[in-house]
Amino acid sequence: MQTTSFAALLAGAGLAIGSAWGGLLANFAAGIFLVVLRPFKVGDFISAGGITGTVEEVGLFVTTVDTPDNVRTFVGNNKLFSDNIQNFSANPYRRVELSAQISGAADPKAACEALKGRIRQIPNVVTKPEPDVVIASFTAVGPVLAIRPYTNNDHYWQVYFDTNLAIREVLGDGTFPAPMPVFGIQQVGETAPRA
C-alpha cells in the first residue's frame, strides 16, 4: 500500500469527522441556549427552522416536533436557534385571518354587522378582543371584507373552519346580492347600413 494514498485517506476521514463534530457542537451549543432561554417549551405550537408543529421534546442536539398532519420531525437545534422562531402558544389568543368578497350592490355596513353577529355565536371565539369585520380593499366586483375572530390556539382550526361556514351562511342566504363581475359593451363609431 502506498503511503500517499493512506495519508490522503486519513486526511479525508479527519476532515469528515471534524465537520461532523463541528455540526454536533453547533447543535449542542444551540440546545443549551434553547434550554436556558426557553423561547418555547414542550406542548407549544411553533414555526421555526422551516417546520410548523407542536413541540414534543427539546433535546441537547435535536428538537422533536409533531406537524399538524401528525408527522414526527426531528430538527437540529442549530437550525431552530439560527432561524426566526414563532411561538403561537405564548399569548392567550391568536387571530384567525379570513376574507370575503361582497357585491358592490350590497350594503357593507349591514354585511359587517350580520357577520359579526354570526361569528360571536361560534364556540371558542373570545369576546375580548371582539371579532373584526371591516372593509379591507376594493375590487371591480365590490368590497372585500376582512373577517378576524380571535381564539385560543387549541381551538384555532375549529374556529377557522366554523368562520368559513358562517361566512357562507350569512352571505349566501339571499339577503345580500352575490358578487358577480359586470362587463359593459360599448359600440364605438357608426356602421354603414347594408344594402
The CATH number assigned to the domain holding 149 equals 3.30.70.100
| CA angle, 137 then 142 then 143, to 5° | 35
Instruction: Enter the pTM of the model.
Output: 0.70
In percent, the amount of the chain with pLDDT more than 70 equals 80
Q: Is residue 179 part of a domain?
A: no
Beta bridge partners of residue 98, listed in sequence order: 147
119 and 79 inside one domain: no
Alpha carbon separation from 113 to 93, 120, 132 (Å, rounded): 23, 11, 10
100 and 124 inside one domain: yes
According to the model, what pLDDT value does residue 173 have?
A: 84
Containing structural domain, residue 72: 3-87
CB-based burial label for 104 (10 Å; 0-12, 13-18, 19+): middle
11 and 65 inside one domain: yes
pLDDT digits (tens, 9 = 90+) for 141-182: 899 999 999 999 889 999 999 999 999 999 988 888 888 776
Q: What is the mean pLDDT of the chain?
A: 84
In percent, the amount of the chain with pLDDT more than 90 equals 52
Q: Is residue 181 part of a domain?
A: no
Please tell me the least confidently modeled range out of 51-60, 90-99, 181-190. Answer: 181-190
pLDDT at position 100 over 90? yes
Number of domains in the chain: 2
75 and 113 inside one domain: no
